[in-house]
Amino acid sequence: MPGSLVETDARHVLHPWADLSALGKPESLIISQASGVEVTDSNGRSYLDAIGGMWCVTVGYGRTELIEAMTAQARMMPYFTPFGDVTNQPATELAALLAELAPGDLNRVQFTTGGSTAVESAVRLAQFYFLSQGRPGKYHVLSRVNAYHGSTFLAASLSGKAADRTHFHYESGWVHHLDSPGYDPDVSTVPAEQRLAELIGGMESAIAEVGAENIACFIAEPILASGGVLVPPPGYHRATLELCRRHDILYISDEVVTGFGRLGHFFASEVKFGVVPDLLITAKGLTSGYQPLGAVLISDRIAETLASAADPANPVFSNGFTYSGHPVACATAIANIEVMRREDICGHVREVGPYFIERLRELRSSPVVAAVRGDHLMACVECRVDGEAGPTPRNQALARRVDSYCEQAGLLVRPYENLCIMSPPLVVSRQEIDRIVGILAGALDRAA
């Protein structure tokens, strides 16, 4: 019974990122069915999903190709250990496919269980890389304010959203947060070149202060996703890579959100931003959200150095998980890549992505919209009351009202602070984009 399901949830479940002031209140939205770009709740109400599950559902819901691949693999061989020299066929085949899709010489893959575990694995690998070359002091990590890299302890330590950091004793001695690199030409008071120079100057100072000999890696989302869809100024990615190269700091690109088509390419690093990282992280869209899976793509250069520098007395890189490269998840990812290639999903995103942003930008005429920013199918609308700037309590309350009016009108957007964040499934059509923008415009009017 739907009513009792909500009550049972209220009584027994602690949701990820739960609002504890609402704990025990029977208010949850229970999603029971999904098809195409729509989801349906336990009361039978349907919503257009402008969140893409959680940035992850790319080829849409109910794809038989993915469902059949999952069931066939579960029937044939649902699980066996991936540790040491044991593996399974889908994991091996998927690794080869990823190497084919990835930029540069990112030809080796370590599978994980999701984004956070891939972030952890990449950073541990970077630290291990220097340790095994007799440089144990080179283990510090550079991240950024407003970054989001996940919710395990290390991934959360790397994340830089102020609100998420208040109640925990995260690693701080060796994790350093550079300035948030978001640049919005519509609202910025300084030209892009000046902002770029400030950001790169800040990074140079941090490297000088910490000492390049102590820094293992720099980790960066090409566009900061959960931190508020923050797009760095042009030239930022290349300039940060050059700094890393100059100081022998490994560059880790966290493409958990930007990868797998959301910006119109399987991976955005090289094609859009001119960067071939040393390590690249993917998850979410890798299986279109149908199964939990993550992966670290490793350059040949790093892998070969690791192999040649291995300590003969203990040559093991002790990192991995029971469900690393789970066969059912890997089979799903292979089917997902097949669908994406066959239907040229990336091409579709390149076609509808600019339309999505252009339509959303019309909302800037609303008195309660401070900014609209994004790129292809990742975007956000920033709300404000009476010209008040930033995530003030009133602005956050406004965004929550907008979100709730959208939900009442059959649209799911993701509220974060004073933002409504959107990342629809990549198969979204122009008509569905028009519906998203129409409902959002109505909700903004109502909330104004």
> Does 218 contact ligand PLP by CB under 6 A?
no
- Based on CB atoms, which residue is closest to ligand PLP, 203 or 280? 280
For residues 448 and 80, is the Cβ–Cβ distance under 8 A? no
CB burial class (10 A; 0-12, 13-18, 19+) of residue 212?
Answer: middle
- Based on CB atoms, which residue is closest to ligand PLP, 122 or 439? 122
Provide the strand spans (E) within 212-336: 215-220, 250-254, 279-282, 294-299
Of 49, 221, 375, 382, the one binding ligand PLP (CB under 6 A) is 221
For residue 299, what are the β-bridge partners? 106
Select the span of 92-100, 251-259, 328-336, 361-369 touching ligand PLP (CB under 6 A): 251-259
Select the span of 69-77, 144-152, 193-201, 304-312 touching ligand PLP (CB under 6 A): 144-152
> Does 116 contact ligand PLP by CB under 6 A?
yes
Crossing angle of the two packed helices 393-408 and 430-447, in degrees rounded to 10? 130
For residues 256 and 118, is the Cβ–Cβ distance under 8 A? yes
Query: Three-state SS for 358?
Result: helix
Residue 141's nearest CA partner among 210, 208, 201 is 210
Residue 374's nearest CA partner among 394, 349, 398, 396 is 349
> Does 407 contact ligand PLP by CB under 6 A?
no
Of 73, 88, 146, 226, the one binding ligand PLP (CB under 6 A) is 226
- Based on CB atoms, which residue is closest to ligand PLP, 144 or 359? 144
DSSP letter string, 405-427: HHHHTTEE-EEETTEEEE---TT
Of 115, 259, 264, 320, the one binding ligand PLP (CB under 6 A) is 115
Using H for helix, E for strand and C for coil, what is the string for 387-404?
Answer: CCCCCCHHHHHHHHHHHH
> Does 149 contact ligand PLP by CB under 6 A?
yes
Select the span of 132-140, 147-155, 336-344, 411-419 touching ligand PLP (CB under 6 A): 147-155
- Based on CB atoms, which residue is closest to ligand PLP, 114 or 264? 114
Q: Which residue is nearest to ligand PLP (CB)?
A: 115
> Does 225 contact ligand PLP by CB under 6 A?
yes
Select the span of 17-25, 143-151, 187-195, 196-204 touching ligand PLP (CB under 6 A): 143-151
For residues 129 and 311, is the Cβ–Cβ distance under 8 A? no
> Does 296 contact ligand PLP by CB under 6 A?
no
Of 47, 128, 130, 148, the one binding ligand PLP (CB under 6 A) is 148
Of 254, 270, 278, 375, the one binding ligand PLP (CB under 6 A) is 254
For residues 152 and 120, is the Cβ–Cβ distance under 8 A? yes
Q: Can you give the binding site for ligand PLP, defined by CB under 6 A?
A: 114-116, 119, 148-150, 221, 225-226, 254, 256-257, 283
